[in-house]
Amino acid sequence: MRILLKLVLDCDADAAWRALHSPRAIAELYGPLMMMEPMSPSGLPSSLTPGMDVPVTLTLAGVVPLGQQLIHVSEEHTHDADGPVRIFRDSGIPLTGPLSSLDVWDHQMAVSPLPGDETKTLWRDRLVIDGPIAPALWPVLWATWQWRGARLRALAPTWAHDPEPPLAG
């Protein structure tokens, strides 16, 4: 089963790509609805890199446990008819909680410059799930992905912050 999003974000593709690698930016996508906390005593890494496995705990509003999830990071660089596309993939798996009954969790996020306007990003988001409970979880995940899409649009302009140059003086 698939859940798809295709959005135009108000930031350039480089800023979106950096945000995909930031655990802090990813956690902000779900907040305050869902909180993501590190399972490792050393905390979350500052950046997610290919080959990395990051175990996290998810809670509803920081109170109701939703389970633990392993984020496994890989990436791909390719081209389509409009130019370069960078794909960030989380092929980890839910470890505990309701999502742990899934046999497949494959989340890919592709970013590329918006054709005709390189100051914006074309964001394509695809989640593939499978398993005996997937049909029951699909509506909940679909609704979560709609929330996620709204948060992506709201947060993207903050990803490309360039500090003001110091005043001459």
Which DSSP category does 23 fall into?
Answer: H
- What pLDDT does 160 receive? 79
Give CA–CA dist 125/122, Å, rounded: 10
Residue 29, pLDDT score: 86
Residue-wise pLDDT tens for the chain (169 aa)?
999 999 999 999 999 999 999 998 988 888 888 899 999 999 999 999 999 999 999 998 889 999 999 999 999 999 998 899 999 999 999 999 999 999 999 999 999 999 999 999 999 999 999 999 999 999 999 998 999 999 999 999 999 765 555 565 5
Q: Which CATH number fits domain 2-158: 3.50.50.60, 3.40.50.2300, 3.30.530.20, 3.40.30.10?
A: 3.30.530.20
| Through-space distance between the first and last CA atoms of the chain, rounded to whole angstroms | 60
Q: How far apart are CA 142 and CA 152, in angstroms?
A: 15
* Spatial CA neighbour of 106 closest among 137, 125, 128: 128
pLDDT at 169 (0 to 100):
52
